[in-house]
Structure 1
């Protein structure tokens, strides 16, 4: 079924809203909702591996889904991104020999790789990486793929300072959202280690270890962890778990040992 005039009109409006600077997220969300209903009505969604739709129609569907995926990240809606990307997988994989290449494919594939890292889905990360239709050399030269690969390597090495710097080296603005999520996870891991290794730390040293450049953000993080802050001495004291006190039943042990000794004497 051919797209309706209203669907074509909404599609053109979506492109304008998405490409405007700044991007009109609210307008994009409204148009995407209408467009998805229109695509279902026109029989263009869900996209089937053996769909009889024309190449032109499938390109339009792909463009809408790609804009939806980027919109999801900019709106910080990860479940929505997952749904859009799952639909795009069919177009990227099953129609790779039919549709012209999309300039948005590798940026979105790279974003999906970063998303898997934030969820600690390392096995899925490597499976997805192996399925990318690029030679190892081409993948290494592609900034959208090379970036998450480097981040994964640094995470495995424990090179958290390099992960921190990866935010500034992100190939697209949307990547920073996921890198920030990774930094949050890393901060909590470092904080747990600090609580065990130190009784207290100077505020300056704690900020350095936790990658905080803003003092207020460090203080807010410390309060969330239940740390004691001394602004006069400029220190943070870590909340220690009370060690379990082991009560040794001394009298009972002595009595038991004496009884055991008497029994041994009787045997001998």
Structure 2
């Protein structure tokens, strides 16, 4: 495959990716072909002898690859594209015009670190961004993951839940959904330890489920016993381990919290 094919394949890629809806299958096929061309022309890890317009095309291809990875729910692929983009974002920032996709992709990477519970890496990456502190606070693509991290540390899970609808780009919703999956499992573990049973309605509210069917599917995964007649969930306790937990206080606090959430969600 020769470099002369790059312009034509690049135009095809733009058409497939920007169509409504995106042709994800075609986009993936074209990305595979284009990555081979980028490798053969040395543009995947560029040197200084490349022209700026060639570098912009290479960067665009990798950025589309990063978004395509999220839309196809392939996080390892996103990681690879993001790593390849670092050369363009960091080493060629003074040579190339700013990309409008750069900060959406940087923001997605920050949320990915949160999902993987890599909090130290999250803060290191945030501090290394080439933006002054006052701009970090207003850039919507960076502000969103920063807020998510703060709410997670505070335990303000209702705010994390609502953040899905406030996502600055559609791709962010995939990562927020993944984050909510982790949060649900943590809440479920606390429920199993603190309660013998809960009303279905309260359990669904605490776990941020919009429908009973979603709750029932989750309960089955956790091996919870569901009584649809009594509308209760009984939790499956592992072994006979006894925990010193102030159950009455926890139940009162959490049910009050559940009722407040009902009014919000």
TM-score (norm 2): 0.89
Task: Describe the superposition over 1:53-111 as per-residue Cα deviations: whole angstroms up to 9, x where unpaired.
Answer: 11111001000000000000001001110000001011100111111100000000000
* 1:134 matched residue in structure 2: 131
Secondary structure of 1:236's counterpart equals strand
* 1:194 matched residue in structure 2: 191
* 1:52 matched residue in structure 2: 49
Secondary structure of 1:229's counterpart equals strand
Secondary structure of 2:66's counterpart equals helix
* 1:84 matched residue in structure 2: 81
Seen in structure 2, the aligned counterparts of structure 1 residues 90 and 244 have a Cα distance that, compared at 3 Å, is closer
Q: 1:210 aligns with which of 189, 197, 207?
A: 207
Task: Describe the superposition over 1:100-134 as per-residue Cα deviations: whole angstroms up to 9, x where unpaired.
Answer: 10000000000000000000000110011011111
Q: 1:105 aligns with which of 86, 102, 105?
A: 102
User: How many matched pairs?
Assistant: 241
Secondary structure of 2:233's counterpart equals strand
Question: 1:5, CA displacement in angstroms?
Answer: 2.8
- 8 Å CA contact 2:45–2:87 kept in 1: the answer is no
Q: 1:232 aligns with which of 226, 229, 234?
A: 229
* 2:112 matched residue in structure 1: 115
User: Structure 2 CA distance, aligned partners of 1:170 and 1:187?
Assistant: 20
* 2:158 matched residue in structure 1: 161
Seen in structure 2, the aligned counterparts of structure 1 residues 85 and 244 have a Cα distance that, compared at 3 Å, is closer
Task: Describe the superposition over 1:118-155 as per-residue Cα deviations: whole angstroms up to 9, x where unpaired.
Answer: 00000110011011111111111110000000000000
Q: Which runs of 4+ in 1 moved over 2 A?
A: none
Seen in structure 2, the aligned counterparts of structure 1 residues 192 and 85 have a Cα distance that, compared at 3 Å, is same
Question: 1:43, CA displacement in angstroms?
Answer: 2.1
* 2:17 matched residue in structure 1: 18
* 1:62 matched residue in structure 2: 59
Rg larger in structure:
1
User: Structure 1 CA distance, aligned partners of 2:38 and 2:73?
Assistant: 24
* 1:262 matched residue in structure 2: none
* 2:35 matched residue in structure 1: 36
What RMSD over aligned residues (CA atoms) do the two structures have, in Å? 1.2
Q: 2:121 aligns with which of 91, 99, 124?
A: 124
Q: 2:72 aligns with which of 70, 75, 91?
A: 75
Secondary structure of 1:168's counterpart equals helix
Question: 1:40, CA displacement in angstroms?
Answer: 1.2
Secondary structure of 1:141's counterpart equals coil
* 1:179 matched residue in structure 2: 176
* 1:266 matched residue in structure 2: none
